[in-house]
Structure 1
Amino acid sequence: MRGRIGAQFVALACAWGSSFLFIKVALDGLTPAQVVWGRLVLGALALCAVMAVTRSRIPRDPGLWLRLSVVSVLLCVVPFLLFSWAEQHLDSGMASILNATTPLLTLAVGTVALADERLDRRRTAGLLAGFAGVLVLIGSGSLAGGGGHLLAEFACLGATACYGVAFVYLRRFIAPRGLPAVSVAFVQVTIGAVIMLAATPWLAEPTPRVDAPIALSMLALGALSTGLAYLWNNNIVQAWGAVNASAVTYLTPVVGVTAGVVLLGERLTWTQPLGAVLVIAGIMAAHGAPRPAPRPVVVPDAAVDVEAERAVR
């Protein structure tokens, strides 16, 4: 089981790391909102196929659909729009670097909201080392507005803030139900697709231009980086916990920067390999051999709501 989750962790890092490359290519012929439309619709279709093959059941609980609507907005719609808009002004590698701030925000939220996700010296040291690696990757002056891209960089940070809250929300309100990961992923991505489909009349202009590279990028972005990726992500959250799962974004800069340099000719600076080493060292220090999360105990909606109210108080 540990080996299977570990393999999904690596696959997820590759899928999400390469997603920034796919977005950059797709923006050659599509607007940011059109990219998100295609990404979520294709992702929902991919997960629909997985549901059919595995004969998984669609949850019928209206309360669960409401909670997963929150997850969909925080984990799909809003961050996808922010990253797609930002990549009009940033290299794909830089977007993937900024994405690596997610574990820090997840840790901050998880420390408050989750009883079993507390800081200790090892985890603190590892997260600090990983964050130091992110700062090195960014390079001096980048967040100070170098190149006139400050607003785009803050858009990426806003997206990672959404991810941080969504990771913890999944662990706090969805994982205790013990639902199959494929069902959770299908519902959350499908809700996002429905939201974008409803906005189609406002997204039709300008007319999209789709050639072979754009079509292939959108197919990979939807089916792999959205559909299967969210299935893997839900498996990892259930097995390792929210903070451990969000650490996948420590690896996405390595994948994103490499893809940008090799395939798009983006510039490689000396800070990027150094930062990558610090990021990997941070992962090893903070997580080591991940401890499985406690076995989910299925609880009714009323019990979850009471528990949430107590947590707020």
Structure 2
Amino acid sequence: MASPVLARTPSSLAIGVQFVLTGIVWGSSFLFIAVALTGMNPAQVAWSRLVFGAVSLGAIVLLRRERLPRSPRVWAHLSVVAMTFCVVPYLLFSWAQQHVSSSLASIFNATTPIMTAILAWAVFRVERLTAGQLAGIVLGIAGVVLIIAPGAAVDLGESLIAQLALLGATASYGFSLTYMRRFLAGTGLSGLALATGYIGVGAAIMLALSPLIFLEPVRWDPWVLGSVVLLGVLGTGLAYAWNQNTLAAWGPTRASTVTYITPVVGVLLGILVLGETLSWNEPAGAVVVLLGILLVQQRIRFRHRRAGDDEAADAGAPAASR
């Protein structure tokens, strides 16, 4: 019987399982990073994540006989995405988690849809936002301020800089998702092939930098090794394949609800496994951010007084970013 990862037409049950597994794996990534940092520096964690991810995705592509890009133009765009969707945010997340908890990192990761909406509207001009979506962006920003402000009032040190770095990482994700929509949507290639392309380029960049990255020795113990292997093979490998299967079966709107699973898993693992604690403002801010995401993705909407206004809004509503 074919593996659900490799099956060309997964059943509805298999899709549901893959969706849940994707949320669990991506939510666990922050725990894996925290453990890996006990024996590696941030660049080494990012290196391992990309190299192991590229190897696992390459194996899936070979088994599925997926067609990889051939156009130099497509590879040029994939190189941009490799930097902005992989190398830069992976480095920022790894560096930031030296100074903030894995729970807080998972909460900040949930701001990615807000960042995507802002960049799709303000920079790339690929979406027009409704009043409700603009309100969602404002609400999401308010949630971020609620998370950051109490700590910033008493500490202007590395913790605040780390939180800003996490926002930089999610802004980089938002840029990449919009860039892919603008320049790679019409290639005719599968999402899995494109993911293999940009993760492969990202891995090649990190491999080229290996002499610099590994100047500092690595403390290889079973926990560190296991964490980076799981982070790469599962979080940057199999989970991408599962997410592409879900995207193809459910469409971008339903598939993007994985955004709601990952911070819950990340926070629970941080508390239960690492003994982390949350300040009152962090879960409160996460709830405000979540409400903003619901507005941005139009899962909740403002009521219109006239039925004709509702129909016009529905007709002009932009597609979900991912």
TM (normalized to structure 1)? 0.80
C-alpha distance in 1 between matches for 2:149 and 2:24: 23
RMSD: 3.3
Cα pair distance change 1:114/1:14, threshold 3 Å: farther
Identity %: 47
Match of 1:178 in 2: 188
Aligned length: 292
Contact 2:30/2:103 (<8 A) preserved: yes
Match of 1:32 in 2: 42
Match of 1:274 in 2: 284
1:167-203: CA deviation from partner (whole Å, max 9, x where unpaired): 1001111112231111001111110111111111112
1:237-274: CA deviation from partner (whole Å, max 9, x where unpaired): 78427xx8777555533222221111101112333443
C-alpha distance in 2 between matches for 1:21 and 1:176: 36
Cα pair distance change 1:258/1:143, threshold 3 Å: farther
Q: Which amino acid aligns with 1:184?
A: L
Match of 1:219 in 2: 229
Cα pair distance change 1:141/1:155, threshold 3 Å: same
Cα pair distance change 1:11/1:137, threshold 3 Å: farther
Out of 205, 226, 240, the position equivalent to 2:252 is 240
Larger Rg: 2
Q: Which amino acid aligns with 1:78?
A: V
Match of 1:121 in 2: 131
C-alpha distance in 2 between matches for 1:113 and 1:248: 25
Out of 20, 29, 34, the position equivalent to 1:19 is 29
1:127-177: CA deviation from partner (whole Å, max 9, x where unpaired): 444444444444623487456422222222221221111010011111122
Larger deviation: 73-82 or 7-16? 7-16
Contact 1:13/1:252 (<8 A) preserved: yes
For structure 2, list consecutive stretches of 5 or more residues without a partner in the other structure. 1-9, 301-316
Cα pair distance change 1:214/1:73, threshold 3 Å: same
C-alpha distance in 1 between matches for 2:215 and 2:204: 19
Tell me whether 1:209 sits opposite 2:233 in the alignment: no
Contact 1:123/1:287 (<8 A) preserved: yes
Tell me whether 1:140 sits opposite 2:150 in the alignment: yes
SS at match of 1:177: coil
1:57-107: CA deviation from partner (whole Å, max 9, x where unpaired): 222111111110100100000111111111111111222222233222211
C-alpha distance in 2 between matches for 1:6 and 1:135: 35
Match of 1:287 in 2: 297
1:28-74: CA deviation from partner (whole Å, max 9, x where unpaired): 11111111111101001110121122111222111111110100100
C-alpha distance in 2 between matches for 1:26 and 1:194: 21
Match of 1:262 in 2: 272
SS at match of 1:140: helix
For structure 1, list consecutive stretches of 5 or more residues without a partner in the other structure. 295-313
Match of 1:55 in 2: 65
Match of 1:301 in 2: none
C-alpha distance in 2 between matches for 1:198 and 1:145: 38
Tell me whether 1:193 sits opposite 2:193 in the alignment: no
C-alpha distance in 2 between matches for 1:233 and 1:120: 28
Tell me whether 1:100 sits opposite 2:123 in the alignment: no
C-alpha distance in 2 between matches for 1:112 and 1:235: 30
Q: Which amino acid aligns with 1:240?
A: P
SS at match of 1:175: coil
Match of 1:88 in 2: 98
Q: Which amino acid aligns with 1:228?
A: L
TM (normalized to structure 2)? 0.78
Contact 2:150/2:281 (<8 A) preserved: no
Cα pair distance change 1:143/1:211, threshold 3 Å: farther
